[in-house]
């Protein structure tokens, strides 16, 4: 069993209180790690270490020196690739190929891409006329915001955490990360990488624990934190926003979704089935960008439902390293209870269960894991809870539609607005519909295709602000305008 510590000022430390909590494997519910739970004292120490680093060696580095260190971090992640893959598989139970093809390489890329962005972005400048005819020159310089609190979820822990830590450090800030209590491994491992590469002590800190009355809340309440970037549930975002209002601290939020997939009858049928299958079921449906509402144009509705059913029934449950398996469990027993409660509610609300709806029979120790079947429903009314609330599991409801206007209205009939995926071969329609769906990110004939230079974030209750490329700089720096009279 692994012993996981907090990482404060470059040292791995336990909690003064001696408090620890267990991490259980989603595969078989075995305890796989004991984690030191940070109290207020550890959180305060981490924030102080981050503040000291800002005023120390780190704060004195040039952009070029910082960028070199971040390339070093990316290279060290790549060198220790297998350690990160193992750690993330242990926490999430997701298949090895998901880790090696997407989640862990993205962690390294998050440091490289933002190092490049920071190196290449020019500052603005405006010349202005003055009554004496001599004029003035304005120019902006970007300064780091300070100590950034980074609060992360468990669904793609390393990718989502580095998506924030990469740009924060590239911009010259220091960070205190609070990983999810369900996924403590990779954030801790990144501490070893920071030390190995020579990132000054205190630049990167990790405090473990829970949300309310624990490390998460202690961090957001600490006035030494200058800004908070958070990925997680919308209602947690609301609690964090309240805490951040003390001291008028800035927030960047990537929150929940209830994303629509739209399939027109002229779509490349097989590509659309494959795309919606991925978007609904990848990572056992635990992707914020995932599709839980699918709208299919009536002429191909029945055929589409049957084709998706075949694919969903073809998944093979098993351990991440099992070559015959390609499908993992949910993150925890607690999350499974939530997902299964929606599986029951769907039936109560009158759904036709096309496939799934229960728990697969797993052999031996795996019977104790957090497994659920990929599930497809049809026949629910548009106001059903299952159609309106984020479930965050491997499930979707499929509904027919008859016109472009109707499907746009259906897609927008939600309090969320994170992403959508549109499948059609009519390009003019793709552009039209994409512009009308009220979301931060739209994919046409694809899903989860990410260029890290683009804006990423949610509309409505799916988020505040945009990160990615230069958009991250808007949050992780402040622009100071300097006006020089000539």
- When the beta carbons of 222 and 375 are compared against ligand NAD, the nearer one is 222
CA distances for 336 relative to 101, 261, 330, 427, angstroms: 26, 24, 6, 40
Phi-psi region of 472 (alpha: psi -120 to 50; beta: other; left: phi over 0): alpha
- When the beta carbons of 311 and 335 are compared against ligand NAD, the nearer one is 335
* SS (HEC) of 129-182: CCCCCCCEEEEEEEEECCEEEEECCCCCHHHHHHHHHHHHHHCCCEEEEECCCC
Confirm whether 254 is a catalytic residue. yes
CB-nearest residue to ligand NAD: 211
Say how far apart CA 463 and CA 328 lie, in whole Å.
28
Least distance CB 112 / ligand NAD (angstroms): 20
Least distance CB 479 / ligand NAD (angstroms): 25
- When the beta carbons of 8 and 418 are compared against ligand NAD, the nearer one is 418
Question: What are the helix (H) ranges across 282-332?
Answer: 301-313
Least distance CB 226 / ligand NAD (angstroms): 16
What are φ and ψ of residue 378, in 5° steps? -135, 170
Least distance CB 236 / ligand NAD (angstroms): 3
Least distance CB 265 / ligand NAD (angstroms): 30
- When the beta carbons of 264 and 392 are compared against ligand NAD, the nearer one is 392
Extract the tokens encoding 407.
């499907």
- When the beta carbons of 180 and 477 are compared against ligand NAD, the nearer one is 180
Extract the tokens encoding 461.
């209750």
Say how far apart CA 353 and CA 346 lie, in whole Å.
8
Least distance CB 394 / ligand NAD (angstroms): 14
CB count within 10 Å of CB 63 equals: 14
Least distance CB 87 / ligand NAD (angstroms): 17
- When the beta carbons of 236 and 291 are compared against ligand NAD, the nearer one is 236
- Could you list the residues that contact ligand NAD (CB under 6 A)? 151-155, 160, 178, 180-181, 210-212, 216-217, 220, 231-233, 236, 239-240, 254-257, 288, 390, 392, 418, 458, 462-463
User: b vs e for 116-144, b when ≥16 Cβ sit within 10 Å of the residue's Cβ?
Assistant: bbbeeeeeeeeeeeeeeeeeeeeebebeb
Structural element, H or E, at residue 140: strand 136-144
**Nearest C-alpha neighbor of 220 from the set 167, 171, 177:** 177
Q: Please work out, in degrees rounded to the nearest 5, the angle formed at the alpha carbon of residue 351 by the alpha carbons of 347 and 355.
A: 90
- When the beta carbons of 371 and 416 are compared against ligand NAD, the nearer one is 416
Say how far apart CA 250 and CA 456 lie, in whole Å.
17
Least distance CB 437 / ligand NAD (angstroms): 16
Q: What is the CA radius of gyration of the chain?
A: 23
Say whether 179 sits in a helix, a strand or coil: coil
Least distance CB 64 / ligand NAD (angstroms): 31
Say how far apart CA 285 and CA 391 lie, in whole Å.
9
Q: Which residues contact 332 (CB under 8 A, 6 or more apart)?
A: 24, 26, 182, 370
Total residue length of the chain: 486
- When the beta carbons of 70 and 160 are compared against ligand NAD, the nearer one is 160
| Active-site option among 37, 181, 217, 254 | 254
**Nearest C-alpha neighbor of 112 from the set 186, 187, 166:** 166
Structural element, H or E, at residue 436: helix 427-436
Extract the tokens encoding 5.
């510590």
- When the beta carbons of 228 and 296 are compared against ligand NAD, the nearer one is 228
User: b vs e for 401-413, b when ≥16 Cβ sit within 10 Å of the residue's Cβ?
Assistant: beebeebbebbbe
Catalytically annotated residues: 254
């Amino acid at each position: 069993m692994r012993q996981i510590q907090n990482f404060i000022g470059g040292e791995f430390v336990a909690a003064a209180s001696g408090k620890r909590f267990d991490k259980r494997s989603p595969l078989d519910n075995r305890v796989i790690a004991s984690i030191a739970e940070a109290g207020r004292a550890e959180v305060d120490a981490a924030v102080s270490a981050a503040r000291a680093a800002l005023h120390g060696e780190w704060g004195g580095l040039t952009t070029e020196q910082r960028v070199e260190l971040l390339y070093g971090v990316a290279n060290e992640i790549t060198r220790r690739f297998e350690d990160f893959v193992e750690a993330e598989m242990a926490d999430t139970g997701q298949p090895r190929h998901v880790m090696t093809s997407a989640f862990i390489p993205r962690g390294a890329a998050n440091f490289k891409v933002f190092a490049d962005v920071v190196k290449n972005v020019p500052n603005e400048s405006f010349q202005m006329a003055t009554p004496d005819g001599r004029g003035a020159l304005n120019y902006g310089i970007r300064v780091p915001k300070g100590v950034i609190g980074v609060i992360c979820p468990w669904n793609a822990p390393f990718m989502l955490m580095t998506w924030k830590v990469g740009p924060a450090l590239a911009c010259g800030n220091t960070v205190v990360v609070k990983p999810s209590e369900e996924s403590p491994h990779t954030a801790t491992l990144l501490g070893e990488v920071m030390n190995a590469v020579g990132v000054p002590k205190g630049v990167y800190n990790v405090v473990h624990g829970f949300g309310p009355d624990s490390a998460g809340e202690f961090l957001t309440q600490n006035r030494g934190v200058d800004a908070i970037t958070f990925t997680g549930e919308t209602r947690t975002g609301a609690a964090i926003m309240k805490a951040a209002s003390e001291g008028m601290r800035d927030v960047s939020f990537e929150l929940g979704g209830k994303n629509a997939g739209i399939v027109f009858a002229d779509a490349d049928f097989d590509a659309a089935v494959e795309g919606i299958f991925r978007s609904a079921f990848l990572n056992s449906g635990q992707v914020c960008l995932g599709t839980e509402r699918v709208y299919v144009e009536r002429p191909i509705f029945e055929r589409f439902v049957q084709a998706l059913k075949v694919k969903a029934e073809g998944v093979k449950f098993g351990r991440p390293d099992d070559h015959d398996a390609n499908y993992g469990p949910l993150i925890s027993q607690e999350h499974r209870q939530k997902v299964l409660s929606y599986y029951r509610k769907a039936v109560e609300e009158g759904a036709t269960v096309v496939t799934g709806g229960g728990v697969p029979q797993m052999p031996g120790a795996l019977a104790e894991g957090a497994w659920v079947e990929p599930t497809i429903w049809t026949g629910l009314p548009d106001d059903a809870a299952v159609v309106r609330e984020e479930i965050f599991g491997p499930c979707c409801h499929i509904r027919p539609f008859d016109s472009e206007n109707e499907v746009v209205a259906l897609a927008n009939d939600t309090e969320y607005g994170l992403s959508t995926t549109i499948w059609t071969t009519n390009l003019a329609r793709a552009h039209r519909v994409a512009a009308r769906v009220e979301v931060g990110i739209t994919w046409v004939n694809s899903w989860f295709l990410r260029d890290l230079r683009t804006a990423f974030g949610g509309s409505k209750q799916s988020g505040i602000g945009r990160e990615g490329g230069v958009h991250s700089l808007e949050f992780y720096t402040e622009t100071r305008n300097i006006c020089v009279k000539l």
